[in-house]
């Protein structure tokens, strides 16, 4: 398993844990090392335990593991929360001068570094975390110049003095360890010439939206989707767009719908509770056949649930939510990089089929920062397909005998022409009422059936025309089949590779329409579906599709799967042992 170093910093919310972790992750990325980060945070602004974990290797890393090598502990709770992940070569960096008496587990090395007073010497107590980063560089035998570069990126805009002070603080931390402790730790971080980018799922979704030509975003802040809005704010305007912080989720989706009706590529993002509020308008979006992308970054539910914890519990709502029957697409990226590609694809699907698209992420993927080759975000490969927009010179073809534009023309593929406002002779009304080809209200039984069939036919057309394939890993001939969706892919791949699990692994990025797994399930002796929810919503779909019982590994304690934990559970299933559901 590629785990040269598992590092973490933990303390109370408000201690700057997040930015300190990010600085270290960026330094590693700049050193040509792969990084996978995870966050443990409480739903409060100040106080409450918070940790930022960084796993780094020269090889690609795709998941978290239950192991910590170097821990920067700003509070006793940081140590207590992570005791089980510590081992006999773990090192804890702490500040013994602070008001707590650190209780360091017996088998672990504790390095008492006066973080605060060294920071004060360097120019301010606020830099104590950076002193700790310097100390960590000494322990991990990591060239501090990469940290310099990362500090420059973080503080450069605030002036060179601040950058220099921080760089000095880091050196004081490093030198303190060199001078006061034998440094024969078993860690040494090799560097490479690779240039990686470091980003999380929310950022990848935002970048994908801009790449797809999205110019309008309206949203309401909610964990863990807010970072999409924060990313777009200040960036989308460079491309002629705007971000609106609406008064609530109802306003957000309605503003997005209004913008989409003008022909703009428009998007909103929220989390489960926000999807609840948007669901009424979602029906209008679909019935008025308006292209729109709605992002749901899932968190633990129901109701307010655990807002800062992982879960994949919204699937049924996205598939079935709303009164009446609503054609829709549900697309679920499986990695941070796929968040970018699937966002671009979501816009194309929405416009080609004039149907709303749910793009489903989850908290683990949204906040995970991961390194990639920049080629994985190849802007030259982006293709935007706008579907059937009717230019002014072709509008005549779509007018009825009385000159009315047939906005819901009953075509063979179910897709009607679109006249964008401003197009001469294209004026028409759009409504959530059942309507005829012109968009006018009707209760005519035949027209009702015709329009319902027409809208549903778009899905059939899309099934034929689009590639709804899944991502495959492992041994294609194995009798053991693992199926998953969303962000579990990385942990499953690592578990299989590192623990030599013989299985075929199908990671499904499309929930509706979805690839037909009947053949794969029938060919397998044993199938297990892995997901972060209690009831196995995706496993239910697979059983429904394939008429075959599948086994399930479910986790719903709020924490994403770890590779080593999964390895045990998958092996147990294939060895005929029923897995214990983790609660």
431-490 positions binding another protein, by CB under 8 A: 431-433, 440-441
Structure tokens at 295: 């992002």
Rounded to 10 deg, the angle between the 128-140 and 144-155 helix axes is 150
CA-closest candidate to residue 36, choices 9, 70, 11, 59: 59
In whole angstroms, the minimum distance from the beta carbon of 359 to another protein comes to 18
Q: CB under 8 A: which stretch of 174-182, 325-333, 424-432, 558-566 binds another protein? A: 424-432
Q: What is the rounded distance in angstroms from the CA atom of residue 184 to the CA atom of residue 178?
A: 10
Give how far Cα 382 sits from Cα of 190, 340, 370, 378, Å. Answer: 35, 10, 21, 7
Q: Which is nearer to another protein, 173 or 327 (CB)?
A: 327
Token pair in block for residue 176: 């303190």
Applying the rule CB under 8 A, the residues between 14 and 33 that interact with another protein are: 29-30
Q: What radius of gyration, in Å, describes the C-alpha atoms of the chain? A: 26
Q: Which of 92, 244, 367, 532 binds another protein (CB under 8 A)?
A: 244
Q: Is the Cβ of residue 1 or residue 246 nearer to another protein in the bound state?
A: 246
**Closer CB to another protein, residue 43 or residue 425?**
425
- Among 239, 325, 444, 472, which residue interacts with another protein (rule: CB under 8 A)? 239
Alpha carbons 273 and 303: distance in angstroms, whole number: 7
Closest contact distance (angstroms) between CB of 65 and another protein is: 24
Residue 144 or 212: which CB sits closer to another protein? Answer: 212
Window 358 to 387, contacts with another protein (CB under 8 A): 374, 377, 379-380, 382-384, 386
Residue 122 sits in the site that holds another protein (CB under 8 A): no
Closest-CA residue to 343 (of 217, 462, 245): 217
By CB under 8 A, is residue 111 in contact with another protein? Answer: no
State the first-to-last Cα distance of the chain, in angstroms, to the nearest integer: 26
Options 43, 76, 223, 242; binder of another protein; rule CB under 8 A: 242
Residues 183-212 that bind another protein (CB under 8 A): 195-199, 203, 207, 210-212
Of 283 and 313, the one with the shorter C-beta distance to another protein is: 283
Instruction: Considering the complex, state which of residue 46 and residue 323 has its C-beta at the smaller distance from another protein.
Output: 323
- What part of residues 268-287 is at the interface with another protein (CB under 8 A)? 280-281, 283-284
Cβ–Cβ under 8 Å, residues 202 and 228: yes
Residue 354 binding another protein, by CB under 8 A: no
Tokens of 298: 């899932």
Determine the longest span between alpha carbons in the chain, in angstroms: 91
Q: How many CB atoms lie within 10 A of CB 447?
A: 17
Decide if 484 contacts 472 (C-beta within 8 A): no
Work out how close the CB of 342 gets to another protein at its nearest, in angstroms, rounded to a whole number: 15
**Out of 31, 266, 297, 530, which residue is the one contacting another protein (CB under 8 A)?**
266
Strands (E), 466-558: 471-474, 480-485, 504-508, 510-512, 526-531, 551-554
Alpha carbons 418 and 212: distance in angstroms, whole number: 19
Nearest C-alpha neighbor of 279 from the set 230, 225, 316: 316
Q: What DSSP character marks residue 271?
A: -
Q: Of 14, 178, 320, 427, which one interacts with another protein (CB under 8 A)? A: 427
Q: Using CB under 8 A, which of 251, 275, 294, 482 touches another protein?
A: 251
Quick check: 1 binds another protein (CB under 8 A)?
no
Among 421, 476, 518, 549, binds another protein (CB under 8 A): 421
């Amino acid at each position: 398993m590629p785990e040269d170093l598992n590092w973490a910093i933990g303390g109370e919310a408000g201690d700057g844990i997040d930015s300190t972790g990010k600085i270290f992750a960026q330094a590693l990325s700049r050193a040509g090392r792969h990084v996978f980060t995870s966050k443990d945070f409480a739903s409060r602004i100040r106080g409450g335990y918070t940790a930022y974990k960084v796993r780094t290797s020269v090889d690609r890393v795709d998941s978290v593991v239950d192991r910590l090598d170097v821990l920067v502990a700003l509070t006793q709770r940081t140590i207590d929360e992570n005791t089980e992940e510590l081992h006999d070569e773990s090192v804890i960096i702490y500040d013994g001068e602070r008001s707590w008496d650190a209780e360091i587990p017996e088998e672990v090395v504790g390095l008492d570094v006066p973080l605060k007073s060294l920071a004060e010497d360097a120019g301010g107590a606020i830099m104590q975390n950076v002193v700790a980063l310097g100390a960590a560089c000494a322990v991990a035998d990591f060239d501090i110049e990469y940290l310099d570069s990362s500090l420059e990126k973080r503080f450069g805009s605030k002036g060179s003095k601040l950058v220099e002070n921080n760089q000095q603080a880091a050196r004081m931390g490093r030198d303190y360890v060199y001078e006061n402790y034998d440094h024969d730790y078993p860690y040494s971080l090799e560097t490479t010439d690779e240039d990686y980018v470091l980003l999380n799922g929310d950022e990848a979704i935002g970048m994908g939206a801009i790449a797809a030509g999205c110019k309008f975003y309206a949203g309401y802040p909610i964990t863990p989707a807010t970072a999409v809005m924060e990313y777009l704010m200040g960036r989308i305007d460079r491309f002629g767009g705007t971000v609106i912080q609406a008064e609530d989720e109802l306003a957000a989706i309605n503003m997005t719908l209004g913008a989409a009706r003008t022909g703009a590529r428009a998007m909103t993002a929220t989390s489960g509770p926000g999807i609840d509020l948007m669901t009424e308008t979602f029906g209008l979006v679909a019935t008025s056949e308006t292209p729109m992308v709605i992002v749901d970054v899932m968190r633990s539910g129901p109701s307010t649930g655990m807002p800062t914890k992982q879960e994949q519990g919204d699937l049924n709502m996205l598939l079935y939510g709303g009164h009446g029957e609503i054609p829709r697409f549900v697309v679920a990226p499986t990695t941070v990089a796929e968040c970018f590609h699937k966002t671009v694809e979501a816009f194309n699907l929405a416009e080609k089929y004039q149907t709303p698209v749910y793009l489903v992420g989850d908290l683990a993927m949204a906040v995970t920062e991961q390194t990639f080759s920049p080629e994985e975000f190849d802007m030259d490969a982006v293709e935007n397909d706008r579907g059937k927009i009717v230019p002014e010179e072709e509008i005549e073809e779509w007018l009825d005998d009385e000159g009315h534009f047939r906005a819901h023309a009953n075509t063979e593929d179910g897709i009607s022409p679109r006249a964008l406002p401003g197009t001469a002779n294209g004026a028409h009304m759009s409504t959530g009422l059942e309507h005829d080809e012109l968009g006018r209200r009707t209760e005519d039984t035949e027209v009702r059936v015709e329009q319902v069939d027409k809208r549903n036919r778009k899905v059939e057309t899309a099934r034929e025309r689009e590639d709804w394939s899944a991502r495959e890993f492992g041994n294609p001939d194995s009798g053991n089949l693992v199926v998953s969706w969303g962000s579990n892919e990385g942990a499953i791949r690592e578990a299989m590779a590192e623990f030599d699990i013989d299985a075929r692994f199908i990671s499904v990025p499309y929930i509706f329409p979805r690839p037909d797994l009947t053949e794969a399930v029938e060919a397998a002796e044993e199938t297990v579906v892995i997901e972060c929810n209690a009831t196995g919503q995706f496993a239910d779909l697979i059983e429904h599709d394939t008429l075959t019982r599948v086994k399930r590994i479910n986790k719903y304690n709020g924490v994403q799967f770890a590779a080593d934990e999964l390895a045990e559970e998958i092996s147990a299933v294939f060895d005929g042992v029923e897995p214990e559901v983790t609660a």
